[in-house]
Every structure is written in structure tokens, then in C-alpha cells.
Amino acid sequence: MPIRAAVTVVLTATERHRLKKMAYGHKTPYQARKRATVVLLAARSRGNARIAAETHLHVDTVRTWRGRFARGGIPALADRKRSGRPARFTPVQVTEAKALACQVAAESGVPLSR
């Protein structure tokens, strides 16, 4: 079985700054933080196995994010569009339904059974 060489990651100053903000930002979603951390460690010439051990991720996951960044930069770290049935309701309709469900029945004038 041939051993694959890890993809070399070289960061510009701007990319490094943005990735550090992603990796250490308290409001950054968890997955984005992990992905940014993987790329930052890869830029320090760490191997995939070592990055996986440090981040508690699978080696295949580390390899995936390292490769995606090498091919597409920071935008490649975002989730890809997933397949599936399109949504039936718009976000506005969902919000209106939730607001209606949270109203007290006496305020809306509709009987509780409706």
C-alpha cells in the first residue's frame, strides 16, 4: 500500500489571521473551529496523524480538510450543499408558525382546542 504524502499548506498573512480568528473565536461554530485548527496545524508542517491526535479527529477527516483548503482556500472550509428534498416552507413561514404556537390561546381569541 503506497504512503500518501501530506498536502503542503502554505498560508498568507491574511489567511493566517482569518484562520486564527475562526479557530479561537468564541462565536465561531464548532465545526468551523476544528477545520481552521486543522489548517493552522498543517501550516506548521505537522503530519495528519499528529493533527488527528491533537484535535481528536479521525485521520481521514484531517486529510479531507487539509486537501480541501489546499485546493480552494478558506471558502473551501465551508459545508458543501447537501442533497435532499427542498424545504416546503420558507423560513418566514416557519417563524410565523412558531410565533403563533407560542401565543397564549386567550390572547389570540381562538379556543384552546383549535
Task: For residue range 3-53, list pLDDT tens digits in order.
Answer: 666 788 889 999 999 999 999 999 999 999 999 999 999 999 999 999 999
Parent domain of 28: 13-77
Residues ≥6 apart with Cβ < 8 Å to 22? 28, 32, 33, 35, 36, 77
Domain contains 101: no
Per DSSP, which regions of 1-114 are E strands?
Answer: none
C-alpha 25/C-alpha 36 separation (Å) is 11
Domain contains 112: no
Provide the total of helices (H) and of strands (E) in the chain, helices listed first: 6, 0
Domain contains 104: no
Domain contains 98: no
C-alpha 83/C-alpha 63 separation (Å) is 23
Domain contains 52: yes
Domain contains 40: yes
Domain contains 93: no
Domains of the chain: total: 1
Domain contains 108: no
C-alpha 70/C-alpha 47 separation (Å) is 15
The confidence score (pLDDT) of residue 9 equals 87
User: Which helix or strand (DSSP H or E) is residue 49 part of?
Assistant: helix 48-55
